[in-house]
Structure 1
Amino acid sequence: MSTPTPGADLPRTWYAKRSRLITAVVGAVILVGLCVLALMLPEKGGWGFGSRAGVAFTGVLGLGAMLMLGRPKVVAAAGGVTVVNLVRTTHLEWAQIVRVYLRPGDPWVYIDMSDGDTLPVMGIQTSNGKAQAISAARELRALAEKYGTAPDER
């Protein structure tokens, strides 16, 4: 195994640009919509300050949930690969990566690890374009083969 030296190919970051944009826009619409609703609710019928604040806070939670859906990315650097999925971030040394693959019909890339586990890499997904996902998977696979112990591709 060779230790990566800083070069033109590292660091490299992949993320689903389209998904990130859509989730941010939808989250903003949720927030603005619920804040406008909170302001327009009549005081009659029990819609006091606390109730209105609760509606607006629900908008904040909606925005947070949508931003979390847009969070996935993968960063390849000299020290290995960091995979950021919805709520979990996993750092892998290059030697831990056995195989990187994207099978037909898979929504995103997967990494087989040396401990036998499989890690979904939601930052490279087909919803951003099938050709882009295939290209990104090939790039990540090439980096894993260059810096790690990944044997062959399937």
Structure 2
Amino acid sequence: MIIERVSVVEGAADRVWARVVTPDGINDEMRPWMTMSIPRGLGPVTIDTVPVGVPLGRAWLRLFGVVPFDYDALTIAELEPGQRFHEKSTMLNMRRWEHERTVTPDGADRTVVHDRVTFELRLSILTPLLAVVVRSFFAHRHRRLARHFASHAGLNGRG
């Protein structure tokens, strides 16, 4: 199953990228529904600083930020700093999870954020239901990201 979401964020691409590759930025997008831990032993990292193509370990997904319900056996397969990352992972309930995000300037202070998620459940009968959940969840993530930059518009003269 492939799901895509594209939106425009009122912020410069370098600032949007700097936000979306950090644990704080990722978790802010996911809240309040869930959060994701950093794999054990990595320390303070961002997507920009992890080794590419190397399994990083398990990033636990926590319902409402508290209850662990799944993990992401995380690997950043490809990285174009400032522009694109492509995660290829497995999860407890998925034999395949891929998340590709691109961040593209749209003028000086606007950015196009494009997410492409590809997944394959271990129990395929649930795919239509999970497709609805993933589509809604990424719409939520885009709204949260846009809201973050809208609330910071004007700081340092930029959004």
**Greater helix percent: which structure?**
1
TM-score (norm 2): 0.25
TM-score (norm 1): 0.25
**Greater strand percent: which structure?**
2
The structure, 1 or 2, with the larger RCO (C-alpha pairs under 8 Å, 6+ apart) is: 2
